[in-house]
Amino acid sequence: MRKPVVGVIANTYRIENRFDVQTTGERNLRAVADVAGALPLIFPGLPDVTDLSALLDTVDGILLTGARANVHPTYFGAEPHPAHEPYDLSRDAVALPLIRACVEMGVPVLGICRGFQEMNVAFGGSLHPEIRDLPGRMNHRMPRLLTGEIHPDPEVLFADRHEVRFVPGGVFANLFGCETIRVNSLHGQGILEPGERVVIEGVAEDDTIEAIRIADAPGFALGVQWHAEFDPQTSVVNRALFSSFGAALRQAVALRPGRIRPDAGR
């Protein structure tokens, strides 16, 4: 059997305030290669460049990564605000229809942080721009120094900060072999109202939604709010997630001749 290929979505980024580039974190690529056992293939989050039908003819699965930019509020009936920028409308225009196509086709899809939020919006759910502003919620944003600067040490940034409790007997509880884990936390935006097919599988101590699956998906369709790509090589929890993704990818390769492709661009 050939090695699976995973499409890893890229984000719009401007270098030196002049050059537009498409980027993704290297840890995403290493997680796919080292733990899922697949070949990562970066594709642009640009709707006029990325042909979704051609993409889905090429890859065996999709990784929706975290990103600096928030999902644009117009996708869930809210008003944009400068305080909640940056946005990446180009990535939104690629990711949202791509998620629906993957679920319909049974193409394995794993959403992390922004990707997790995209999965919710793709099925009609809404987001809150600052989860920490809701009553009773903790600050889920990345740790900062007393000066207000983001902490320079990645080990501090991605350290476990809170628990996640899973639905007993659910997909995640079975995947991890337990009902409670500890995870990192580096996000402002979060799920407010779940989408029509979005099943909540895990919540933080403050009831912030942290793990979801898409109901009746014929293939792997899971999302997590934490950054599981940081350390799956050493973390038992994050290794289990990417290993399960890898198993789904290999099954997708074996079943690929029978894949039925809908109109992915709709």
Judge contact between 24 and 64, C-beta under 8 A: no
d(CA 266, CA 264): 6
Query: Of 230, 239, 265, 218, whose CA–CA distance to 108 is shortest?
Result: 218
Identified catalytic residue from 128, 140, 187, 227: 227
Q: Among positive and negative, which fits the CA dihedral 84, 198, 94, 58?
A: positive
Beta bridge partners of residue 247, listed in sequence order? none
Q: In the block, which residue shows the tokens 């369709």?
A: 221
- The 8-class DSSP code of residue 148 comes to S
Q: Please confirm, yes or no, whether 210 is among the known catalytic residues.
A: no
Q: Please confirm, yes or no, whether 113 is among the known catalytic residues.
A: yes
Backbone phi, psi, residue 19, to 5°: -110, 120
Identified catalytic residue from 84, 102, 113, 118: 113
Judge contact between 125 and 195, C-beta under 8 A: yes
Identified catalytic residue from 118, 201, 210, 229: 229
CB-count burial class (<10 Å; 0-12, 13-18, 19+) for 145: exposed
Q: Which residues contact 17 (CB under 8 A, 6 or more apart)?
A: none
**How many Cα atoms occupy the beta-carbon half-sphere of 77 within 13 Å?**
5
Judge contact between 212 and 200, C-beta under 8 A: yes
**How many Cα atoms occupy the beta-carbon half-sphere of 55 within 13 Å?**
32
Query: Which residues are catalytically annotated?
Result: 113, 227, 229
